[in-house]
Amino acid sequence: MRETSQVESGVAENHAIAIGSEAHRQLFCHMLLDSFDPYRPAVIAWPSLAPEALARLVGLPFWDIAVATEERAARRMEALAGACEDPLIQEAVALNAWEERRHKEVLGHMIRHYGIGLKDETPYIAIPDPEWGFLRTGYGECFDSFFAFGLFALARESGFFPAPLVEVFEPIVQEEARHNLFFVNWVAYTRFNRGLPARVKLDLQRVAALAVQAWGRLAVARGVDDKNFTRTGGEAVGLTLKPRQFFALCAREQERRMARYDSRLLRPRIMPRVARMLSHVLPA
Ligand SMILES: [Fe+2]
Ligand SMILES: [Fe+2]
């Protein structure tokens, strides 16, 4: 077996499954397909909120970005599903796209129900290479989900939002964990089954996608970009943890959310590694 690259994930020791094999393909595709949650946005019972909770919700600074991100993810995944030659992978990617569209639908219902004001949505600009688009979105989701897992746990613990509202969003957050898991396994499987020139191209695209997504988020963190999803989100939910504790919480939450899926699948590893590295340099 060729060695699987570990840009996006580490190969767990003692794997009983060969990464890149037919068994791996079945496992990561069926992980997504068989764990589908059939909730329906149109029948969500939105809880009534006390005036302060409603003001907090309406005042969160990231609803425009969240809606645009779901639309972009759905479009990019639909493009990859359209280009897929493998019917099983195509089915799984198409489901992933459908779930992103459902996330946008949930947000739409919530926005209308609570009267949240949004700017006009900027039109989506298609990316000609579907794999490049999927890599961009996949790594972006891995970064964003890592922080979202921690922020969600904080919001739940702090009572920042009433429990019924937190529960409405629980399936969405868990879906992102499934998407991250599918993505890192798709990358490893696809890479393994490519000939040398196509593998080199994929690797270059992966590094570029990681760099673009990481830069975008660093720019946000340094305040040079006002599309400030995670940082303003943290401030908005009253994040008072020190950065080191917050990173550790995010890593724990990611592990907890991934634990319910087959342990033979690769896990997203970049952000937990970054968190571990930072734990040596950030003040306790
Ligand atoms: Fe989503
Ligand atoms: Fe997703």
Q: pLDDT tens across 183-202, in order? A: 999 999 999 999 999 999 99
How far from chain centre, in Å, is Cα 49? 28
Q: Relative to the alpha carbon of 172, which ligand is closest? A: 1
Q: Relative to the alpha carbon of 104, which ligand is closest? A: 1
Instruction: Indicate left, alpha or beta for 121 from its phi (over 0: left) and psi (-120 to 50: alpha).
Output: beta
* Residue 44, CA atoms < 13 Å, CB-side half-sphere: 28
What per-residue confidence (pLDDT) applies to 33? 98
Amino acid found at 277: M
Name the residues around ion ligand 2, CB cutoff 5 A: 141, 176, 179
Amino acid found at 54: L
* pTM recorded for the entire structure: 0.87
| Per-residue CA distances from 206 to 1, 41, 212 (Å) | 21, 33, 10
Q: What is the Cα–Cα distance from 169 to 149, expressed in whole angstroms?
A: 11
Contact criterion met (CB below 8 Å) for 97 and 74 = yes
Reply yes or no on whether the pLDDT at 3 is more than 90.
no
Name the residues around ion ligand 1, CB cutoff 5 A: 70, 100, 103
Lowest-confidence pick of 118-127, 150-159, 169-178, 224-233: 224-233
Reply yes or no on whether the pLDDT at 221 is more than 80.
no
Ligand 2 centre to CA of 219 (Å) is 22
What per-residue confidence (pLDDT) applies to 2? 40
What is the pLDDT averaged over residues 202-206? 96
Q: What is the Cα–Cα distance from 95 to 117, expressed in whole angstroms?
A: 29
| Per-residue CA distances from 249 to 45, 53, 202 (Å) | 30, 24, 32
Ligand 1 centre to CA of 160 (Å) is 22
Ligand 2 centre to CA of 42 (Å) is 20
> Tokens 């964990």 appear where?
177
Reply yes or no on whether the pLDDT at 229 is more than 60.
no
Q: Is the dihedral of CA 182, 189, 30, 267 positive or negative?
A: negative
Lowest-confidence pick of 38-52, 116-130, 170-184, 189-203: 116-130
Ligand 1 centre to CA of 39 (Å) is 14
What per-residue confidence (pLDDT) applies to 119? 84
Encoded tokens for 87: 């019917």
Ligand 1 centre to CA of 196 (Å) is 33
Kindly indicate the confidence band of residue 15, based on its pLDDT and cuts at 50, 70 and 90. low
Q: What is the Cα–Cα distance from 240 to 173, expressed in whole angstroms?
A: 22
Ligand 1 centre to CA of 31 (Å) is 17
Q: What is the Cα–Cα distance from 194 to 199, expressed in whole angstroms?
A: 5
Reply yes or no on whether the pLDDT at 92 is more than 90.
yes
Ligand 1 centre to CA of 222 (Å) is 25
Reply yes or no on whether the pLDDT at 94 is more than 90.
yes
For the chain, give the number of residues.
Answer: 284
What per-residue confidence (pLDDT) applies to 192? 97
Q: Relative to the alpha carbon of 102, which ligand is closest? A: 1
Ligand 1 centre to CA of 53 (Å) is 24
Lowest-confidence pick of 16-20, 126-130, 278-282: 278-282
What is the pLDDT averaged over residues 141-148? 92
Ligand 1 centre to CA of 137 (Å) is 10
What per-residue confidence (pLDDT) applies to 222? 61
Ligand 1 centre to CA of 1 (Å) is 34
Contact criterion met (CB below 8 Å) for 209 and 139 = yes
Contact criterion met (CB below 8 Å) for 254 and 177 = yes
Q: Which residues contact 211 (CB under 8 A, 6 or more apart)?
A: none
